[in-house]
Amino acid sequence: MNQSEAKAKIDTLRREIEEHNNRYYVLNRPLISDFEYDILLNELDTLEKKFPEFISDNSPTKRVGSDITKEFEQYEHIYPMLSLGNTYSEEELREFDNRLHKSISQPIEYVCESKFDGASISITYINGSLFRAVTRGDGNKGDDVTLNVKTIRSIPLKITSKRIPAEFVIRGEILMPRAVFNRLNEERIKAELTPFANPRNAAAGTLKLLDPRIVASRSLDCMIYFLLAEELPHDNHYDNLKEAAGWGFKVAESIRLCKNIDEVLQFISFWESERKKLPYDTDGVVVKVNSLSQQNELGFTAKSPRWAIAYKYKAEEATTRLLSVTFQVGRTGTVTPVANLEPVLLSGSTVKRATLHNEDQINLLDLHLNDMVYVEKGGEIIPKIVGVDHSERNENSKKIVFISNCPECGTALIKNEGEANHFCPNYLHCPPQIKGRIEHFISRKAMDIDGLGEETIDLLFNKNLIRNFADLYDLKMEQLVPLERLGEKSAANILKSIRTSIDTPYRRVLFALGIRHVGETVAKTIAWRFKTIDDLINAGIDQLTSVYEIGPKIAASIVSYFSDNDNLEMIERLKSVGIRFSEMSEPTLTGNLLKGKIIVISGVFKEHSREEYKELIEKNGGKNSTSVSGNTSFILAGDDMGQSKKEKADELGIPMISESEFLKIIDK
C-alpha cells in the first residue's frame, strides 16, 4: 500500500469509526458488534503506526488515552460560565415568568432541560476540530482537560458538517452513569480504597486525573446543553441544540419547547418521578428563554443570566435510626459532629452518615440515641438530619451531648463568643489539624506542591517523617523511595516540586501558613500593607485593624498566631531554606489619582477585564473592595451591574462611574 492509498484508507476508517461511535454512544443504535468495531480500530491503529505522517490528535485511536501526562494549565473562558439562580416552588417560577414579561412585550417561549448532575465542561472547536476543553473553574477560567475529554466517546473529535461556525464553543455536563459508578465503587472497595460519594464526584474526580488511560476506562459520557458562537445557525436556543445533535453531539431526548409557563410546570411535574428511570443523576429542570434576541435583551446579573433559572426538586427524604454520634476535627481545629445511621437508600445511594453541623443543631433537633430521624440530601449531595420522629423515641434513650474535649488529643474545646462552632486550640500537636494544615500548605492556591496528596501526607505523618510543613523541606530521597506506593520516580517528582515551591510569592506563603480567618484575599491585603513577615510579626491589633477589610477577629487571630514560639520557630526554618517572606511583586504605583479611594467593581466591561481594572486601581493608589458600604468612594459600573449593589449604592448615595469615565479619571 502506497502513501496515497494509505491516507485514503485511514480517512475512510476514521469516518466509519466515528459514525459507529455516534450510533453507539449518542444514538444508542449500534450497527456492528464490539468485535467488529475492535477490528476496525485495530486496522486503523496498524495503518497509523505504519504511516506515522498521517497520525492526527483527533484520530479515534487517541480515545484510549495516552500515558503522557502534564500539569493542568488554566485558560480563560471565551464566554464566562455563570451560575444559575435556583427556585424550589411553582410560585417562584411564576414570579420568574412575570418578571420576564415586564421586560419583554412579545410572547416568551421556554426550553426545558433535565438538570444533569455532573461536571460542567466548555469545549472549543476550530474548523470542526476539537481544540480545547476547559472545566468550569471559577467561571472566568478553568483547567485544560482536553486530553481527558478526548477519551469520552460521545464527544466528537472532528465535525464534518458544512453548516458549522469556523469557531464555536459547546457546553455540556460530563456524567458518570449510575451503573458505571456502582461498578467502580465495588472495585474500589475490593481494593480497599475509599469509594466515591456519588456519580457527580466520581465524574469530576475522573476528569481531573493525570492519566487519560484511567479516564478512558471509566466510561464517562457528556450531555450537551448550550451552543455559543459569533454567528449561530439559528436565532433560538432549541434549534441550535437540535443542530448540535445533528453534528454528532449528545443532546437529551427529554428537552422540550414550551409555549408558556404552564407547559413548563407540566414538564417539571412529569419528570419529577420519571427522572429516576434515567441512567444518570438529575436534581431538577433548567428553564431557558428560547429566543436569543430576548436573551440578549434580558441580559445578565453579575453572577447569572436573567433569562434562565434552575428548578430544583425537593430533596428525597428517608427515615432511619440514629446509632451514634462521632466528632471529627478539621484543619483549623473546628469540631464537627457526624451522625452514624442504620444504612438507608436515599436518592439512589446508601446513606450511613449525616452531618449535624454543630452543637446548636443537635440541641435544635433535641437528638437522642436510637431516635428515628428524617434524613435528606442537601442539594441531593450531602446527607443531613432534618427532623426526629418523637413518637418512636424510647423514654430511657440518652440525649446527645456535645463533647467538651478534643476526640483526637484530649484538649479542652473552645467556643468563641459569636461563633457557632467549637474548636480544639491545640493546633500544633493535634494530629488531624497537623495533617490538615500540611494539606492546606501544599495546595494549588498556596505552595502548589505536587505529588503529596492526602494519602501520602498521612503516610509521611505515620512514619514520623513530618510533624509540620517545615519538615517537608528536610525530606530526602532515601526516606521516600522505600515507602509504599512511592518509588524512585515519584519521590524525585515530590522533592523537585518541594524545591520549586521555594519561589512561591509572599502573599501565597502567608495564605499557606493557615492562619485562622486569613484567606487568599486577606493574605494579599496583608502582604501589600506589611512588606515583610517581620513587619507583620511585630504589628499590634491597632496596626492590623487600620488596614481596610481587617477586622478585630482577623487581627486577634494574626496576633495569636505570631505569639506562639513554635510558629515563630517554624517560620525561621522556612526562612533558612529560602522561602520568600517579603513582597517582591507588589503593584508598581504609576500615580496617586485614586489615593485614599475605596472602589467596588461591578458588571461586565468592554475595554479591560475585571482583574485588569483591579490592577489599575491598585497602581493608581486606590483600594479594591467587594462589598458596597458607607466607606465606598464610588462604583466602577459596567454593563449588567448587579442589582443588589445598585440598590445599596442608591440607598447610600454612592456615585457610579462608567468605564469610559473611569479611564478618563486615570488618564488612560
> CATH no. for residue 281?
3.30.470.30
Q: How far apart are CA 439 and CA 93, in angstroms?
A: 43
0.95 exceeded by pTM: no
Mean per-residue pLDDT for 166-175? 95
| Residue-level pLDDT at 43 | 80
Average pLDDT over residues 217-224: 92
Q: Residues 385-412: what's their mean pLDDT?
A: 92
Q: How confident is the model at residue 335 (pLDDT cuts 50, 70, 90)?
A: very high
Pairing of strands 119-126, 167-175: antiparallel
Cell 474545646 locates to: 413
What is the domain extent for residue 475?
431-503
Give yes or no: residues 282 and 205 share one domain: yes
- pLDDT, greater one: 185 or 154: 154
pLDDT (tens digit, 9 = 90+) per residue, 459-473? 999 999 999 999 999
Tell whether 45 and 144 lie within a shared domain.
no
- Give the count of alpha carbons within 13 A of 548, CB side only: 17
Q: Which of 294-298, 361-365, 648-652 has the lowest mean pLDDT?
A: 648-652
Other residues' Cβ atoms within 10 Å of the Cβ of residue 216 = 20
- In this structure, the answer to whether residues 39 and 158 fall within a common structural domain is no
Per-residue model confidence (pLDDT) at position 380: 47
Distance CA 222, CA 212 (A): 16
Identify the helix (H) or strand (E) that includes residue 574. helix 565-576
Q: Could you tell me if 515 and 478 lie in one domain?
A: no
C-alpha angle 470/407/415, rounded to 5°? 85
Where residue 467 sits, what CATH number does that domain have? Answer: 1.10.150.20
Q: In this model, does residue 146 exceed pLDDT 70?
A: yes
The total of structural domains in the chain comes to 6
CA 411 to chain centre: 35
Confidence of residue 52 (pLDDT cuts 50, 70, 90): confident
In a domain, 611, yes or no: yes
User: Kind of pairing, strands 634-637 and 656-657?
Assistant: parallel
Residue 192: the pLDDT is: 64
What is the pLDDT at residue 216?
86
Pick the last residue of a domain from 503, 535, 562: 503
pLDDT tens sequence across 266-311:
999 999 889 888 888 888 999 999 999 999 999 987 678 999 999 9
Averaging pLDDT over each range in 120-124, 162-166, 450-454, which range is the top one?
120-124
351-373 mean pLDDT: 91
Task: Catalogue the active-site residues.
Answer: 115
Residue 65 clears pLDDT 50, i.e. is over it: no
Residue 459 lies in a domain: yes
C-alpha dist (Å) from residue 615 to 273, 437, 588, 611, 637: 51, 31, 10, 6, 16
- Mean pLDDT over 450-462 rounds to 88
Contact 279, 178 (CB under 8 A): yes
Identify the band that residue 247 occupies on the pLDDT scale cut at 50, 70 and 90. Answer: very high
Question: Whole-number mean pLDDT of the chain?
Answer: 86
111 and 240 both lie in a single domain: yes
Q: What is the pLDDT of residue 66?
A: 39
DSSP letter (8 states) at residue 384: E
Q: Range with the lowest mean pLDDT among 130-144, 509-523, 556-570, 625-639?
A: 625-639
Whether 400 shows a pLDDT value over 80: the answer reads yes
Question: Among all chains, which residue has been given the C-alpha cell 486550640?
Answer: 425
Average confidence (pLDDT) over 338-357:
86
- Give the DSSP per-residue string, 163-197: TS-SEEEEEEEEE--HHHHHHHHHHHHHTT-PPPS
What phi, psi does 368 have (nearest 5°)?
Answer: -130, 155
